[in-house]
Amino acid sequence: MSEINFFVPKGPFNLNELSDDKSFKDKKIKIIDLKTLDIATKKDLTFFNSLNYKDLAIKTKAAACITNSNLAQYLPKECYKIIVKNVLYSVAKISKKFYPDADLDYPDKSVVNSLKVSSNFPSVIFGKNIFIGNRVKIGSKTQIGSNTVIEHDVQIGKNCLIGSNVTIRNSIIGNDVVIQDGCKIGVKGFGFIPLKDKNFRFPHIGKVILKDKVELGANCTIDRGSIGDTIIDENTFLDNQVHIAHNVKIGKNCMIAGQVGFAGSSTIGNNVSIGGQAGISGHLKIGNNVKIGGGSGVVKDIPDNTTVMGYPAVPLKEFLKKGKN
């Protein structure tokens, strides 16, 4: 699978075009893109809005960073600091300059009936009424059910099974992946900046990556990343009606039961098991070999090799002790 950006940035922009800070007026610094702290280069703009990301901020190679006055001290000296009151609102506004069409999911006008392009995929088995966008790649022996839409530039590996009524956009899918009926993959996430008189949309410019041997149950929804990607690693299985928000990263060999919901930007380790209808709050780190009981509400980080249950989720022994009182 080749790397691809589904959204191409406008620009480049001078730093003074992106910031109201007058101190940047005479600084002719070209910014080519907006990226996260860990992957930003000397030609990129990034942002830093939480101490949770202090370790990444210290090491960032970004040319400039949007942050607030309390966090600026952690950034490298050579990184220009754009100090604002509301970091995410400023990021959203600047993101719209780079990616003006990424705040909504507009229909892909390039899709055509698979009957017109089936000769491009001689070893793929198509159901009825399937629509395929421009530059889509599909590996050999993959099967696709009826009424499915695969939008432009999506990449799908070999030996995959994709059910009926599935929509896939802004996604790279590995080999031997199973996607059951009704799944929606790569859609825009629930990203809004709440303001006093309105909600401001946060553009979502990332993608979804499903690695080899991932399985998705029926009617799962997986949002693409906002800035960065949503990733599910090898051999992880999702039950029906699981929701994964933007920028979530799930490790290898995980088992996630029905109606589990993940808020944005949480990281889940390897070999994690999560019971049905559990909820995982945003920006958390769940360690390796963790077990989360059904119906639990996870609101803080969980270390490796821990079993938790309840709302809020606590270690199992503590939960059972409370039940006896």
Q: 98, 120, 144 — which closes off a domain?
A: 98
Residues 54 and 141 in one domain: no
The SS3 of residue 231 is strand
Q: 56, 72, 98 — which closes off a domain?
A: 98
pTM equals 0.92
The SS3 of residue 53 is helix
pLDDT band at residue 21 using 50, 70 and 90 as cut-offs: low
Total domains, the chain: 2
The 10s digit of each residue's pLDDT in 53-111 is 999 999 999 999 999 999 999 999 999 999 999 999 999 999 999 998 888 888 899 99
Residues 150 and 52 in one domain: no
Q: 41, 67, 98 — which closes off a domain?
A: 98
Catalytic residue among 152, 204, 243, 246: 246
Reported for 268-273, long-range contacts at CB under 8 A and 24+ positions apart, including other chains, are 269/304, 270/233
CATH number of residue 61's parent domain: 3.40.1390.10
Above 90 in pLDDT, residue 20? no
Residues 124 and 256 in one domain: yes
Buried b (16+ CB within 10 A) or exposed e, 186-220: bbbbebebeeeeeebbbbbbbbbbbbbbbbbbbbb
Range of the domain at 262: 112-324
The predicted pLDDT at position 23 comes to: 63
Residues 234 and 152 in one domain: yes
pLDDT band at residue 173 using 50, 70 and 90 as cut-offs: very high
- Please state the rounded mean pLDDT for residues 161-167: 98
Residues 163 and 25 in one domain: no
CA distance 246 to 90: 19
Above 80 in pLDDT, residue 1? no
- In this structure, is residue 106 part of a structural domain? no
- In this structure, is residue 21 part of a structural domain? yes
Q: Is 204 noted as a catalytic residue in this protein?
A: no
- In this structure, is residue 43 part of a structural domain? yes
Which of 92-101, 156-165, 254-263, 275-284 is least confident? 92-101
The 10s digit of each residue's pLDDT in 274-284 is 999 999 999 99
pLDDT band at residue 122 using 50, 70 and 90 as cut-offs: very high
- In this structure, is residue 104 part of a structural domain? no
Q: Which two tokens stand for residue 294?
A: 């059904």
- In this structure, is residue 39 part of a structural domain? yes
